[in-house]
Amino acid sequence: MRADRLVSLVLLLRRHGRLTADVLARELEVSTRTVLRDIEALSAAGVPVYAERGRHGGFALLPGFQTELTGLNHDEALALLVAGSRRGAQAFGLGGALASAMRKVVDALPESYRDTATGAARRLLVDPETDLLSRRVVPEDLPDAVVAEVRRAVLTGHRLRINYAAVDQSAQWRTVDPIGLVTVADQSYLLATRSGEDRTYRLSRILDAEELPEPAQRPEDIDLDQAWRERSTRFRAGSDQVAVDVRVNPTRRAELIGTAVTLSSETVEADGRLRLELTFQDPRHAEWALWQLGTHAEILAPQWLRTTLHDRATTLATHYRSP
């Protein structure tokens, strides 16, 4: 890890010219004391880095210094492969590797292209932290050490012990055969098998992980996209599904169908409204989806869902009643 950091330090100085110890520490995510030790190590190794004193001082390389230390390590190459979006690297614990790899990529460009590429990058933004409605995207809190252990087992093909806290259950250790990692809608999952049965685990619910020395029992080749589609289909076909008969304003049709699991039938009534028979994943999903439409939808069946939304609306009206 230190060798990679020293390379990144040199590349930062080559790219920016002169930087203070505080700036270098922030870029490399280490302490200022660590930066000073790294500077000493570079000097001892013959890298011509020098300090400039004063208000505008800092560390810099002698003019004309060149280095071939631009080779990507394993994690950096992997980070570039999964970094179609910035969140792809963050989801799998590769954010630091991506930053380091991008510095090396920029440094490896011919000098005539370097400024052009840097300027172009400032005009491209992928996955900002908020959308047009200023809704902030809250990423999952994934401990780097846990994600790194899971990722290592997936890539090496070894079995994995995980301390997993399922919903409404206490954490338990279990041994699984990891197949792959998937990130979707800002949530990350481990696809695995356990005793030969397919299992899907939320990374944010894995409290601890340990790569085991024995090989995982899994197929040599895997179509991860197909495996995810199959598991998603089985998940949507769970035993808690709810069938709903509803009248809806045509302007909200796409929104409602988009969140439902299936659309069984659709007819147009005399007043222009649509009558739909839909299936939702579970009662909570049905309640949430129909509540979003307010008076643009009317539940015809089941009665318990009508009652649930009635009680919810009554409680809200009472809460906001004028004093």
Residue 106: pLDDT above 90?
Answer: no
Question: Looking at per-residue confidence, does 217 or 107 come out higher?
Answer: 217
pLDDT the model gives residue 85? 45
Helical packing angle, 111-121 and 95-108, nearest 10°:
140
Tell me the two tokens of residue 289: 């989806």
pLDDT the model gives residue 115? 61
Distance of CA 46 to the CA centre of its chain: 40
Per-residue pLDDT tens for 115-144? 655 565 555 555 566 666 666 666 667 778
The region of weakest confidence among 1-15, 105-119, 145-159 is 105-119
Per-residue pLDDT tens for 79-90? 555 554 455 555
Residue 207: pLDDT above 90?
Answer: yes
Query: How much is the average pLDDT of 57-63?
Result: 81
Residue 64: pLDDT above 80?
Answer: no
Residue 29: pLDDT above 70?
Answer: yes
Residue 258: pLDDT above 60?
Answer: yes
Half-sphere exposure of 215 (CA within 13 A, CB side): 4
> To which residue do tokens 């939808």 refer?
297
Tell me the two tokens of residue 249: 């304003």
pLDDT the model gives residue 84? 46
Query: How much is the average pLDDT of 56-67?
Result: 74
Other C-beta atoms within 10 Å of 6: how many? 18
Q: What is the pTM of this model?
A: 0.50
Query: How much is the average pLDDT of 96-112?
Result: 60
Question: Could you tell me where the DSSP H helices lie in the chain?
Answer: 2-16, 21-28, 32-44, 74-82, 86-91, 95-108, 111-121, 144-156, 224-236, 253-259, 283-291, 303-319
> To which residue do tokens 């509540």 refer?
291
Strand order across the beta sheet in which 58-61 lies: 18-19, 58-61, 49-52
Q: In the beta sheet, which residues pair with residue 203?
A: none
Strand, helix or coil at 145?
Answer: helix
Length of the chain: 323
Other C-beta atoms within 10 Å of 36: how many? 15
Cα–Cα distance, 268 to 274 (Å, whole number): 5
